[in-house]
């Protein structure tokens, strides 16, 4: 039997979207003026950062998963949301694009003394390679994360190749094999190896997955470069849990054609996912399609929102 947790709480610290007027829903607590006690003052940018708090009985596991594009937005929002850095048990990075790690070293610089001393960092095998975008003859460098710089803050780096249990009922995906053949990766995304720019496969892309007791999997993705449908099916494969309860993150459908978006939404319907929180690089057309075609299952993202997915009331607590 795969392990299970009681509750997953995800606070979106950085995302592309902000809307201070949104109401709470069954799974979303908004950082409204009534929560803040003032006009909320949060930054949105093209990036993603999450604080994931997982509860199982008396145990708690907290991971900062991705770090936005800039330290300015990440550190500002951490302060505004009054997140306590000492509660973080581990850092995790989804992939090697700057809009997910750009805030990391500035975050460590600002908070290292308040973070736990034995703080691990989990990433994928290809996270430290130089990334580019290429369109025809034009190339744009989008940066390279330095492993040394992380380790300089006395944070040891662990590369996750295989599905890895972080706490009971919580996994990092490791390298994802068996992607859907129709979820192709846009050819403009390039990685530099041996001086050559080649098509990026994002083999090291990490997904954070938790199994909520009597509900199913909560899948927290980032940019979903290997394909959001394949990522959900891979989460089912590696955990042995057949039901996907919630999916949140960037689905990377922005700029892709309508048939691809339609096929993804069809697949979500087939997977019978109960809660969808499309964020970051999902793109407005795909967000609209999910909201229209999966009514009652869509929850809008907004920076500062805490999404909560919990075991049903009355179920026995985990030992």
Contact positions vs Fe ion (CB under 5 A): 97, 99, 223, 281
What DSSP designation does 153 have? T
β-pairing, 90-92 with 59-65? parallel
User: Residues 6 or more apart from 196 whose CB is under 8 A from it?
Assistant: none
Return all residues near 231 (Cβ < 8 A) that are at least 6 apart: 173, 176, 207, 219, 221, 224
Residue 40 vs 68, nearer CB to Fe ion: 68
To Fe ion, the closest distance from the beta carbon of 126 in angstroms equals 12
Whole-angstrom distance, CA of residue 246 vs CA of residue 223:
16
In the bound complex, what is the minimum distance in angstroms from residue 94's beta carbon to Fe ion?
A: 8
CA–CA dist 75, 262 (Å, integer): 37
Name the minimum Å distance from CB 225 to Fe ion.
6
In angstroms, how far apart are the furthest CA atoms of the chain? 61
Of the pair 108, 281, the CB lying nearest Fe ion is at: 281
For residue 282, the minimal CB distance to Fe ion (Å) is 10
Closest distance to Fe ion from the beta carbon of 59 (Å): 31
Tokens of 234: 């891979």
* Pick 223 or 265: Cβ nearer Fe ion: 223
CA angle 101, 227, 200 (to 5 degrees): 60
Judged by beta carbon, residue 208 or residue 223, the one nearer Fe ion is: 223
Would you say 96 or 163 has its CB closer to Fe ion?
96
Which whole-number Å values give the CA distances from 79 to 41, 72, 180, 182, 308, in the listed order?
Answer: 10, 11, 40, 42, 21
Q: Closest approach of Cβ 283 to Fe ion, in Å?
A: 12
Nearer to Fe ion (CB atom), residue 100 or residue 275:
100
């Amino acid at each position: 039997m795969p392990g299970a947790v009681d509750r997953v709480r995800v606070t979106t610290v950085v995302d592309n979207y902000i809307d201070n007027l949104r109401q709470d829903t069954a799974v979303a607590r908004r950082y409204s003026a009534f929560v803040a006690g003032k006009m909320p003052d949060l930054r949105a940018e093209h990036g993603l950062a999450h604080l994931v708090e997982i509860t199982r009985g008396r145990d708690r596991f907290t991971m900062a998963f991705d770090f936005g594009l800039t330290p300015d937005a990440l550190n500002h929002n951490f302060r505004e949301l009054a997140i306590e850095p000492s509660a973080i048990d581990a850092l995790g990075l989804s992939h090697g694009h700057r809009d997910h790690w750009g805030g990391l070293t500035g975050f460590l610089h600002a908070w290292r003394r308040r973070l736990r001393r034995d703080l691990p960092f989990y990433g994928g095998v290809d996270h430290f390679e130089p990334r580019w975008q290429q369109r025809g003859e034009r190339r744009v460098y989008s940066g390279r994360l330095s492993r040394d710089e992380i380790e300089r803050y006395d944070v040891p780096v662990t590369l996750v190749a295989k599905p890895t249990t972080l706490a009971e009922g919580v996994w990092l995906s490791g390298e994802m094999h068996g992607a859907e053949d129709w979820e192709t990766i846009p050819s403009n995304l390039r990685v530099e190896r041996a001086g050559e720019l080649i098509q990026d496969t994002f083999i090291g892309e990490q997904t954070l997955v938790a199994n909520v007791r009597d509900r199913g999997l909560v899948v927290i993705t980032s940019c979903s470069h290997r394909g959001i449908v394949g990522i959900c099916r891979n989460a089912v494969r590696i955990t042995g849990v057949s039901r996907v309860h919630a999916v949140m993150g960037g689905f990377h459908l922005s700029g892709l054609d309508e048939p691809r978006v339609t096929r993804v939404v069809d697949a979500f319907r087939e997977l019978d996912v109960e809660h969808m929180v499309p964020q970051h690089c999902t793109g407005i057309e795909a967000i609209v399609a999910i909201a229209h075609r999966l009514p009652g299952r869509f929850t809008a993202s907004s920076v500062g929102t805490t999404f909560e997915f919990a075991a049903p009331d009355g179920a026995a607590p985990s030992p």
